[in-house]
């Protein structure tokens, strides 16, 4: 699976209302050319959303208006989701390559701004013929015929779910709506239009989960490919001799390591994580591994991950809100109270305490045998290009790489990790020295550590901070747990 992430600074409000211009920033173009995607996206958005300006040489400010475009690609389809402060849109395509990306972007934009659909069709009808009343075929698992559309009610649409297996149970917003079979799709009429959470389950197969956009007064077709469950999980990481500083949670068998408290220099000279300041934390327990897909499945009864490789792979595609639900369910299984680690705890454990390691490895250095990062296979430090081919295209089973100084795995690379704290620009200079817990409120939450997809080694630094709103989900982001003392 190829993941593309584009971030731009834009709202659906007319540009004249903003204090400054709006920009389009390509953070990761995957297999596609930066310039080609940039030119097409700027052209369409400037016509139908608002003017987008080129990025100045000095860069852009963090407070500029935000717009996020996420492209997910499988062997059979391309999906685009567009979100910002005032919009949340979805587009898809069964065309391969850049043509599919263009088609999906156009669909997302006219769904976000339906008043301009006729204008978009006038200009781009050859790219989205099905949407503009011309003959075309939507994405489906196998050729099927749609039933005649019933008389539609206001704000309702119709959904067809095609599957590649028999006896697949279909859920919409966690409500069971029927059974689909291979070659016999589920046709559901009178579905509330708009963004809905679709889940498809079948015995012996991984769960299919996707956000769909049900169109008003029309049929929306979805292809749900359910992959067989992995018949054999990779071996468990080699167990260290049991000691007094380890504790095993009895329901999931998650391992927690006791981290001895101490003081250290937190932060870096980066504008987002500075200034450098002394922080002291008490003893705490931290998950030895990122929470796995098997552990999430055991607690929640489902697996939301995009790459469902094995029960020992870390769970991803989970938001901060999803994690809070997981913690609530896990806490109900016993008498231990779990939580996400506070930012100071996470950085202390990653740096090896007062050792101030730049990367969370045994000795603070980084290479392809110590960290899962850079899916492209090459990274740079200074002017040197080095190989980072570590044998994993995406995430690796937890514990596949050596532990850090405290005996914790994958705090650098594999998946970004959600942290408990809100982000506050002034908090590092004014917050508590002892056991800080972050600002009491804020717009953004923090995640740390970098992922399998990062070639910029700055992202992998133990001090680097990444910010997203708490509803954000991506297949590069997971989490580990701490125990509330």
At which residue do the structure tokens 């990653």 appear? 350
Minimal CA–CA distance to 208: which of 303, 68, 340, 91? 303
What are the residue ranges in the chain where pLDDT is below 50?
Answer: 1-19, 29, 135-143, 150-153, 231-242, 375-390
What's the pLDDT tens digit per position in 409-424?
999 999 999 999 999 8
The answer to whether 4 and 29 have CB atoms below 8 angstroms apart is yes
Fold of domain 156-224 = Immunoglobulin-like (2.60.40)
What's the pLDDT tens digit per position in 81-93?
666 656 666 778 7
> How many helices, marked H, and strands, marked E, lie in the chain?
7, 25
Sequential DSSP letters for 39-93: HHHHHHHHHHT---BPPPTT---TTS--EEEEEEE-SS-EEEEEEETTEEEEEEE
Burial status of residue 394 (CB atoms within 10 A of its CB: 0-12, 13-18, 19 or more): buried
The pLDDT value recorded for residue 293 is 93
Q: Identify each DSSP E strand in 346-480 by its residue range.
A: 378-381, 384-387, 416-422, 445-448, 466-468, 477-478
Cα separation, 106 vs 121, in Å, equals: 9
The answer to whether 295 and 252 have CB atoms below 8 angstroms apart is yes
Can you say whether the dihedral through the CA atoms of 408, 480, 397, 311 is positive or negative? Answer: positive
Domain residue spans of the chain: 2-124, 156-224, 246-483
The pLDDT value recorded for residue 138 is 40
- Do the domains at 156-224 and 246-483 have one common CATH topology? no
The pLDDT value recorded for residue 246 is 87
Cα separation, 79 vs 69, in Å, equals: 10
- Residue 103 DSSP one-character state: H
Residue 236 in tokens: 């468990």
Cα separation, 442 vs 5, in Å, equals: 24
The pLDDT value recorded for residue 444 is 92
The pLDDT value recorded for residue 390 is 47
Q: Does domain 246-483 have CATH number 3.50.50.60?
A: no
The pLDDT value recorded for residue 200 is 84
The answer to whether 478 and 411 have CB atoms below 8 angstroms apart is no
The pLDDT value recorded for residue 50 is 79
């Amino acid at each position: 699976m190829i993941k593309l992430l584009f971030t731009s600074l834009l709202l659906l409000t007319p540009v004249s209302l903003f204090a400054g211009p709006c920009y389009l920033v390509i953070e990761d173009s995957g297999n596609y050319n930066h310039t080609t995607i940039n030119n097409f996206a700027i052209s369409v958005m400037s016509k139908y959303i608002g003017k987008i300006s080129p990025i100045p040489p000095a860069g852009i400010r963090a407070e500029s208006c935000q717009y996020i475009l996420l492209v997910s690609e499988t062997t059979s389809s391309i999906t685009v989701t567009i979100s910002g402060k005032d919009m949340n849109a979805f587009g898809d395509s069964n065309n391969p390559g850049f043509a599919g990306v263009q088609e999906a972007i156009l669909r997302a934009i006219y769904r976000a701004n339906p008043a301009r659909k006729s204008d978009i069709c006038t200009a781009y009808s050859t790219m989205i013929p099905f949407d503009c009343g011309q003959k075309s075929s939507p994405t489906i698992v196998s050729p099927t015929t749609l039933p005649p559309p019933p008389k539609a009610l206001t704000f309702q649409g119709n959904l067809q779910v095609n599957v590649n297996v028999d006896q697949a149970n279909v859920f919409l917003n966690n409500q069971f709506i029927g059974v689909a079979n291979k070659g016999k799709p589920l046709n559901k009429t009178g579905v509330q239009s708009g963004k809905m959470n679709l889940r498809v389950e079948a015995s012996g197969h991984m769960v299919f989960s996707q956000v769909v956009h049900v169109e008003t007064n029309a049929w929306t077709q979805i292809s749900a490919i359910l992959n067989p469950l992995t018949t054999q999980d990779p071996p468990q990481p080699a167990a260290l001799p049991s000691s007094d500083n380890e504790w095993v949670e009895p329901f999931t068998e998650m391992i927690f390591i006791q981290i001895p408290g101490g003081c250290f220099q937190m932060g870096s000279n980066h504008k987002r994580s500075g200034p450098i300041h002394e922080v002291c934390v008490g003893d705490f327990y931290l998950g030895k591994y990122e929470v796995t897909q098997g552990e999430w499945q055991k607690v929640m009864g489902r697996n939301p991950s995009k790459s469902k490789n094995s029960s020992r792979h870390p769970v991803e595609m989970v938001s901060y809100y999803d994690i809070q639900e997981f913690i609530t369910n896990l806490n109900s299984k016993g008498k231990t109270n779990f939580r996400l680690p506070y930012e100071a705890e996470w950085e202390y454990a990653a740096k090896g305490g007062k050792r101030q390691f730049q990367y969370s490895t045994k000795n603070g250095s980084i290479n392809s045998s110590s960290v899962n990062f850079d899916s492209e296979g090459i990274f740079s430090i200074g002017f040197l290009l080095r190989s980072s081919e570590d044998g994993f295209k995406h995430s690796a089973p937890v514990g596949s790489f050596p532990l850090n100084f405290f005996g914790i795995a994958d705090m650098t690379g594999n998946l970004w990790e959600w942290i408990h704290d809100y982000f506050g620009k002034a908090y590092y200079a004014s917050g508590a020295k002892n056991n800080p817990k972050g600002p009491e409120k804020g717009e953004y939450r923090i995640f740390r550590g970098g992922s399998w997809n990062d070639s910029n080694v700055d992202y992998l630094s133990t001090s680097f901070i990444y910010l997203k709103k708490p509803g954000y989900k991506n297949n590069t982001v997971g989490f580990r747990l701490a125990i509330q003392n």
